[in-house]
Chain A
């Protein structure tokens, strides 16, 4: 029996070891080497790449990334919670609504981002309509700013918030809310004092699922932000392309990973008993 279990586990273990662990080790080694003249890495081993991260220039970029990811996560939560609550209380139509939430995944994220750009630009649908109705006389600057970046991130990652929230809300025992009502709690306090606290695991899981990809995002900040500001994901990408500074790029991604894992650890410590990691 035990041997059988091992046999079934072996393929996925092998896959993880070769396709996940090995590249990680390579990145770790790269991050400790020196920069090749035109890319690549050369000996000797050094910690220089890591010490460079502490440069205020890069800390500023890191801070900005955390800020943008944080705002996007908060907005996803504010938008996602009512939506998840609505879906969980929609009876037989729940399946349909969930399908609709996941529908955007059927199209490439890149194409959807371009679609947003067509909506938001000066001669795009939104500005054209507003101009035609006379509500504005000059096109609104909707694209190539932080608003556009955060909009793109919220749009892209909202489903990752809604799904875990829905899962916890759906498991919520309606009897608890009935009990709250019986004890005299009107709907709003019941939501705040019963539903929300019980939803904590879903909120945490959703926030982590949104925050982490937002932090490392580079497609949306680049396309919707118009390359005017830089986030950590773009910085990492630049090190492997234009700058050809692989050790620094590797050190950046490794530090980002360590930081994220550290945050996850703290969050999971503080929410005892709720498995996050």
Chain B
């Protein structure tokens, strides 16, 4: 595809690069979030050398990017961090003429609510969080409210992340996951404190082993984290809770300060090919954002509910939103109160 684009793009990249004879690109992504050969394939096709760095949390990325001069060209914030980066004038506007593969985006991701015109970001992968639980020990769970039941006492964990804990409490109470209303947030905080005696711990991905081993019977967890072990632990089930759940989309953005805009666009355009995306999805078990990827996946992933929730489940999902500073501040405080309660 588009060999000519690559050729001229390569020339432009060469011309734009003064110091090194070989064009170079600095890519900063989540750890374990790309196919094993994706970068090598890009380098082979384009002759652009890639320096690939990884981060472990969105906050780490944001903290680095906000200080400026971080030296990365393409980075992958989660959807709710796109607005802060844009407002700080850190993002380069995307040139859609250099991203012909945008046409491969699935309809859900063509006009996402956080960047409807895809002016600064392009969706890359999508994931969500729900409840993973031991069906043999607990029976069927279907709601967040089940995590307030005595039967999970001492054997249940929530994510160690304020958006996720407050969000689950908010939807349990019938409010919006992304609520900014003080009264609703305070009610959610009380709900979280009420849950604490039943809680074993607030744990992120590290809880996975304990869920598989049976130490923990129910956990609020990301689909991406659980999917690789679901097949080997038949007692486990995953539910998108009835009250609603959150979705995240990792997005590719180009930093404004990057002197390698051309190469950065080429990298993003490269990722927007179904074959490339399918390899990333198969390797990382994270939901695709492109049409035509599902058909390319191995059969055990093609219909996996953790990658492709049923339409009636998906309808309850909401995208995590950027909080206005005042709501963010209140949430921070409530979270600290929950922690020290």
Contact = CB atoms under 8 A, between A and B. Distances in A.
B60 A241 contact: yes
A38 interface: yes
Given A38-B84, A141-B154, A241 B339 contact: no
A122 B215 contact: yes
Nearest to B67: A40
Contact of A229 (B63, B210, B213, B339): B339
Interface stretch (B193-201, B264-272, B280-288): B193-201
Nearest to B324: A37
Interface string B193-220: 0001001111100000010011100000
B340 interface: yes
A245 to B, nearest CB: 7
A244 B62 contact: yes
Contacts of B203: 226-227
Interface in B49-106: 57, 59-60, 62-63, 66-67, 84, 87-88
Contacts of B162: 242
Contacts of B335: 242
Given A37-B84, A226-B202, A240 B154 contact: no
Nearest to B207: A226
Contact of B340 (A37, A61, A143, A242): A61
A240 B339 CA distance: 17
Given A57-B336, A241-B63, A242-B162, A121 B84 contact: no
Contacts of B213: 121-123
Interface string A200-237: 00000000000000000000001001111110001100
B339 A243 contact: no
B210 A39 contact: no
A112 interface: no
A112 B210 CA distance: 18
Given A123-B214, A242-B332, A226 B339 contact: no
A243 B337 CA distance: 13
Interface residues of B, number: 35
The binding surface of chain A is classed by DSSP as loop
A238 B160 CA distance: 12
Interface in B290-341: 325, 328-329, 332-333, 335-337, 339-340
Contacts of B62: 38-39, 244
A64 interface: yes
B30 to A, nearest CB: 15
Given A123-B213, A226-B203, A242 B66 contact: no
A241 B59 contact: yes
B340 A230 contact: yes
A243 B210 contact: no
A31 to B, nearest CB: 17
Interface in A26-51: 35-40
Nearest to B196: A228
Nearest to A127: B215
Contacts of B325: 35, 37-38
A57 B335 CA distance: 11
A121 B60 CA distance: 29
A166 interface: no
A240 B340 contact: no
A242 B201 contact: no
Contact of A230 (B59, B63, B332, B336): B336
B336 A238 contact: yes
A122 B62 CA distance: 36
A89 interface: no
A144 interface: yes
A245 B332 contact: yes
A141 B203 CA distance: 16
Contacts of B339: 227-230, 234
B201 A144 contact: yes
A229 B215 contact: no
A227 B159 CA distance: 9
A243 B88 CA distance: 17
Given A39-B62, A57-B333, A121 B210 contact: yes
Closest 3 CB pairs of A and B: A226-B201, A227-B202, A38-B84
Interface of B: 57, 59-60, 62-63, 66-67, 84, 87-88, 154, 157, 160-162, 196, 199-203, 210, 213-215, 325, 328-329, 332-333, 335-337, 339-340
21 contacts: A35-B325, A38-B62, A38-B87, A57-B336, A61-B340, A64-B340, A121-B213, A139-B215, A143-B201, A144-B201, A226-B202, A228-B196, A228-B199, A228-B201, A229-B340, A234-B339, A238-B336, A240-B63, A241-B60, A242-B335, A244-B59
Given A35-B325, A228-B201, 15 more contacts: A39-B62, A57-B337, A121-B210, A121-B215, A122-B210, A123-B215, A144-B200, A225-B201, A230-B339, A235-B336, A238-B332, A238-B336, A242-B332, A243-B329, A245-B329
